[in-house]
Amino acid sequence: MSAKLSACFFSHGFSCLSNSSYKNTVDKHKNVYMRVLFLPSRQFLPAYCKMRQRNLSSNHKRQRMSKPPERIPTSAELLPIRDEESEPENSFPNGVDVEPFVNHETSGKDHVNTVIDVENIAEQNSGTLSASAGDVERTSEQIINGLVLPSVTKALAINGEQLSSMQLEDLVGMIKNAERNILVLNQARVHALEDIHKVLDEKETLQGEINILEMRLAEADARIKVASQGKIHVEFLESQLEMLRNELTDRGELELYENQKKFSNEELLSTHDDHSPNKEVDSLRTENLALKNDIQALKSMISNVKNTDERMATLENECSFLGSSVKELESKLLVSQQDSPKISTLKVEYQELWEKVENLQQLFDTATKQADQATLVLQQNQDLRKKVDKLEKSLEEVNVLKVSSDKMQQSNELIQKKIKLLEERLQKSDQEIYSFVQLYQESLEAFQDTLNSLKEESKKRTSDALVDDMPREFWSRLLLTIDGWVLEKKISNSDAKLLRELVWKKDRCIRDAHIACKEKNECEVISTFLWLASSQASPGLYIVHIAAEMAPVAKVGGLGDVVTGLGKTLQKKGHLVEIILPKYDCMQYDGIYDLRALDVTVESYFDGKLFQNKIWVGTVEGLPVYFIEPHHPNKFFWRGQYYGEHDDFKRFSFFSRAALEFLLQAGKKPDIIHCHDWQTAFVAPLYWDLYAPKGLNSARICFTCHNFEYQGTASASELASCGLDAQELNRPDRMQDNTAHDSVNPVKGAIVFSNIVTTVSPTYAEEVRTAEGGKGLHSTLNSHSRKFMGILNGIDTDAWNPATDNFLKVQYSANDMQGKAENKAAMRRNLGLSSADDQRPLVGCITRLVPQKGVHLIKHAIYRTLEMGGQFVLLGSSPVLHIQREFEGIANQFQNHEHIRLILKYDESLSHAIYAASDMFIIPSIFEPCGLTQMIAMRYGSVPIARKTGGLNDR
């Protein structure tokens, strides 16, 4: 019937119950709806549809109020709510069908009349319940008022038709049955509460009994303690009796005591066997009294004995005194007997010493005689020595005269020979000058011929390149545009000069470039024209280095030297080279020329926001350098040091994205973007994932790892700060670290995303492909082996040249090594080393003090050099705190030593001086990707002593 009734509700007007809120309510309260809403019979709906007679319900209320509720046992069964009558489906009493009662077009007045006053009915029914069952009554009322009655009220409001009185009576009967069931539940709850009270009373009685038992237990413990104290007292008395027994044995009264003790023991045994613990205590008391009496008797006997035998006591005292004196004498005798062999040995030693003294006296007498004779001989020798000195002085004067005369003759001969040689050289020089003049004239003629030929060729080329099909206004506009860029400082004067020459010559290439850039913005037009100017100046490539170091302005290790040296070499070969660096606060700003800030800001994305970056430009060692200064609240590059910060991953990922953003906004079109080490390894994935789609797609990425020990791994979540998709890149075939799957590895990402990957020596390239040398990346390098190679590093021969090095006191070269000895002497004076022996070898060492560089071997070399008679100079510092402290201790140990110096810092000028002064140079690296110190040492004439590993094996 419930299923039929629900079907009726949902099919005839309950459309409002089909929304999502209703479905959620049904899911949560399915059982409640099934029991309360749909349990009545088919007569339930028409009965509620005719609930308008309030008088009937009020009369029913009065009857229920006058009759108090009877006590119903908890075992009583609930009355059924539904009627026992059964009717056909889809029909109501009196043969009324369902559909006529469901009418959506009823008037508002009928709709109001059919509404039931549910609140009054609930109040009337609530008065019949007992006070003890109020909570259950309220709960049942809430179920009826909240579930049944609102549902029925809605049905009545929708149907809006009056029902018959018979149906109202049926509904009243069902409500009565429901109220009876509620009373049954309330009375069952009251019985349950009474049972609970009974249980609580029983619990209180049990608790009282437990307390009584605990008191009894405490009394028993007290009695046991008293008994144990009595036992201890008895044991004490027994010990006293034992002492008395020992005394009485000397007096012959032992039998009496034993008899008394037997008697007392028998009494103790009898009392112990026959009585309870309380009686034992009483027996102990009686025994104590008896023992006290016995003790008093014994004391009286002892006093009598003392009174009668006082003389015996004095005699005994005298005997004891004599015995003690005898014992002392015996001990002394034993001591003397023990010392007697020592006395004999002392006598023997005394005789031997006396003999030695006699012998020494004899030797002393002979020595005094010999000394007297020696003094006489010395006096004679001194006289002879004076005479010899006079003769030697006279001989030296004669020799000086002879040497001076010989030197005069030799100098005259040398002067004559030099005069002859000079005359011959003059003649040869005249001939050479004449020949040179002839060659010069011939070369001038050849130069003039080639110049003429070049002019003719240039005229032909310009004639071929010139175009006359454009009006003069076109070229004038181009000139004005170029001049405007110069005034706005958007291009340099040199680039403007080249572009003006192309305009003046009416070159076809600049016309085609201008036509091709009509639809582009100004930045793209300027970059195209600059590329055109650079291509006219040199036919090389446009290369941009993005790095964290550059010597000498921001140098930590060999990376800074390589970036500068490689950039200068590429520049000499005709390539356009630019370098992008972070603007550190600790840079050596005196090495930057023409440093200035551009009137432009570049915005870059980081941590979901846009941050401005100030761009600075300057030249370092003749190379154009762009310095990026981020305006970030964390002051990424204003930390007083280059590396070693807790947020290095964020610092350099920010810099990598800002560098690419600068290239994009400046409209640059490089051919190669060269990034170095993990600090700028982010450039590769950023370029291909974010900036190539934006138009910065002219370049190919080259990544160089200078040391695979430093990989910059971090949590994968930190990769999202720079805008990369961490979920997409944290995969085994992309940037996921090979050893920690929840971390990303920037070096691995650069290997995967770069077009070419290099390292700094061929041997190191082979070593890193093994599990030991690859530091976890050997599998990635082997899978990308086609684009991985080792290219041996080189040094800047202009910066490291002893013939032109301004840091040296004296310049020298391989053909003239005299200056090396002078530099060695100068450095010894500066560092306070001993210069007593010029031939003493000097060993140098310039390095970062990290485990890779073999610090334990460096310490061994210091002491070994000192043992072998050499001198040692160390220049370097350590980022590892305990290594720095260890070497500080060694430096303090040799602070005032004449052969050892440790300078625990980096000093550029001192490094040049050490290379020039040292005879040998140690490089004890455990592994070395390439190393530059051995190349510089050989350049300065110092013999390198190195381990056979990495790049040290390739040189």
| Three-state secondary-structure class, residue 97 | strand
When pLDDT is averaged across residues 10-17 and rounded to a whole number, the result is 39
Nearest-5° Cα angle at 360, 354 to 366: 145
First to last CA, the chain: 100
Q: How far is it, in rounded angstroms, from Cα 629 to Cα 583?
A: 5
pLDDT at 164: 53
Please report which confidence band the pLDDT of residue 923 belongs to, taking 50, 70 and 90 as the band edges.
Answer: very high
User: What is the secondary structure of 653-702 as a DSSP string?
Assistant: HHHHHHHHHHHHHTT---SEEEEETGGGTTHHHHIIIIITTTT--S-EEE
When pLDDT is averaged across residues 575-598 and rounded to a whole number, the result is 92
Number of other CB atoms surrounding residue 156 within 10 Å = 23
Please state, rounded to an integer, the average pLDDT across all residues of the chain: 76
List the single range of 282-286, 367-371, 850-854, 947-951 with lowest mean pLDDT. Answer: 282-286
When pLDDT is averaged across residues 888-917 and rounded to a whole number, the result is 93
Highest mean pLDDT among 44-58, 238-252, 384-398: 384-398
Q: Domain residues of the chain, as ranges?
A: 473-535, 542-790, 817-952
Domain 542-790 and domain 817-952, same fold? Reply is: yes
More confident residue, 772 or 14: 772
Instruction: Tell me which residue of 754, 799, 816, 807 sits closest to 916, measured CA to CA.
Output: 807
When pLDDT is averaged across residues 27-36 and rounded to a whole number, the result is 37
pLDDT at 227: 67
pLDDT at 455: 66
| Strands of 191-252, DSSP E | none
pLDDT at 221: 72
pLDDT at 295: 67
676-721 pLDDT per residue, tens: 999 999 999 999 999 999 999 999 999 999 999 999 999 999 999 9
Percent of the chain at pLDDT > 90 equals: 36
631-688 pLDDT per residue, tens: 999 999 999 999 989 999 999 999 999 999 999 998 889 999 999 999 999 999 999 9
280-332 pLDDT per residue, tens: 667 766 766 776 676 676 666 656 655 555 656 666 676 677 667 667 766 77
pLDDT at 287: 65
Q: How many helices (H) and strands (E) would you count in the chain?
A: 30, 18
pLDDT at 738: 92
Q: State which H helix or E strand residue 401 sits in.
A: helix 310-465
Architecture (CATH level 2) of domain 817-952: 3-Layer(aba) Sandwich (3.40)
pLDDT at 130: 40
Instruction: Tell me which residue of 152, 154, 144 sits closest to 123, measured CA to CA.
Output: 144
Q: State which H helix or E strand residue 623 sits in.
A: strand 623-630
pLDDT at 629: 96
795-853 pLDDT per residue, tens: 888 889 999 999 999 999 988 888 999 999 999 999 999 998 888 999 999 999 999 89
Q: State which H helix or E strand residue 613 sits in.
A: strand 609-620
632 exposure class (CB count in 10 Å sphere: 0-12, 13-18, 19+)? buried
Instruction: Tell me which residue of 599, 562, 619 sits closest to 799, measured CA to CA.
Output: 562
* CATH code for residues 542-790: 3.40.50.2000
Let me know how long the chain is: 955
Highest mean pLDDT among 82-96, 315-329, 470-484, 601-615: 601-615
List the single range of 230-239, 264-273, 556-565 with lowest mean pLDDT. Answer: 264-273
Q: Are 647 and 634 in contact (CB under 8 A)?
A: yes
When pLDDT is averaged across residues 456-473 and rounded to a whole number, the result is 57
Percent of the chain at pLDDT > 70 equals: 70
pLDDT at 22: 35
140-176 pLDDT per residue, tens: 444 444 444 444 444 444 444 444 556 677 777 878 8
CA 556 from chain centre, in angstroms, equals 21
